[in-house]
Amino acid sequence: MDPKRLPDAEKALYHRLNEEYSTGFETLRLKKDLCLNLLKVDDLEKLLGGQDPLKDVSKFPFWVKLWESAIVLADFLVAQDYPPNCRVLELGAGLGASGLAAAARGCDTTLSDYQEHILDFQRVSAAASGLRNVSFQLLDWLNPPEIEPYDVVIGAEIVFNEQFNEPLLSVLRKCLKPDGVVYLAHDIKRKSLPAFLKLAEKEYIISASKRRLRSLEEDKFVILNRLVPRNR
């Protein structure tokens, strides 16, 4: 992706982010011959300083990494059929791969996260991917704004700390239509996921499937959960 082809506003954002982080685009190829151009931090190891997200979740900046679970969720979403005017919200969107995949399938999509600079990465990626049906929302789970409910709520690697389980459920109550559906994707090693699902099963009928993301280095296994409100 040539940054010179970006619209003026996103081009300015790109240059500012590039000065701060040293960035580059990665092309993510999905099913149905769809491609996304994602703006990422180039030198991830330098930024992370060797942090392991599975050991120290309190300090790890989850937004900077293109997670295998986000790729699996993106591929799943592009294979789905959606009703007209379907509205999708991605929670803790980070680089926004899953939400942008839904947008590429024609859904009116909102990418959300808790810091403005994360949304700026998403804005550049949406423009670089030629997607105009995307909006961006600052969303703090501890103090969520009033939000019109969505048909589909998605998230990849968003269940990482048990202290946020209740706030996340509270956000889902506000953001999901009574007849809506939630899709969550997580590394099979994510130890915090079972506790969240046990709490959520009081309100949702939960199904799960295991997906494999093949890699030259090491195959990754991802748990994809579908949550449907029990009162629908």
What pLDDT, on a 0 to 100 scale, did the predictor assign at position 166?
Answer: 96
Interatomic CA distance for residues 30 and 76, integer angstroms: 9
215: pLDDT strictly greater than 80: no
Span 71-111, pLDDT tens digits? 999 999 999 999 999 999 999 999 999 999 999 999 999 99
CA distances from 159 to 12, 120, 168, 226 (A): 33, 23, 8, 14
If one counts the domains in the chain, the total is 1
55: pLDDT strictly greater than 60: no
Question: What's the full length of the chain, in residues?
Answer: 232
Q: For 116-141, what is the mean pLDDT?
A: 97
What pLDDT, on a 0 to 100 scale, did the predictor assign at position 193?
Answer: 94
Residue type, 135: S
Higher per-residue confidence, 63 vs 184: 184
Position 66 confidence tier, pLDDT thresholds 50, 70, 90: very high
Span 223-232, pLDDT tens digits? 999 999 998 6
With CA atoms as reference, report the closest residue to 151 among 185, 170, 178.
Answer: 178
* 116: number of Cβ within 10 Å: 9
Interatomic CA distance for residues 203 and 197, integer angstroms: 10
For residue 165, what are the contacts with CB-CB under 8 A and spacing of at least 6? 159, 192, 195, 196, 199
Span 129-171, pLDDT tens digits? 999 999 999 999 999 999 999 999 999 999 988 899 999 999 9
Interatomic CA distance for residues 203 and 222, integer angstroms: 23
Tell me, what CATH number does 40's domain have? 3.40.50.150
Burial of 15 (0-12, 13-18, 19+ CB in 10 A): middle
* 3-state SS class at 176: strand
Asked if 167 and 200 touch (Cβ cutoff 8 Å), the reply is no
DSSP state for residue 115 in the 8-state scheme: S
54: pLDDT strictly greater than 60: no
Position 56 confidence tier, pLDDT thresholds 50, 70, 90: low
Interatomic CA distance for residues 120 and 136, integer angstroms: 9
47: pLDDT strictly greater than 80: no
| Mean residue pLDDT across the chain | 92
Residue type, 44: L
Domain housing 113? 3-229
58: pLDDT strictly greater than 60: no
195: pLDDT strictly greater than 90: yes
Asked if 1 and 37 touch (Cβ cutoff 8 Å), the reply is yes
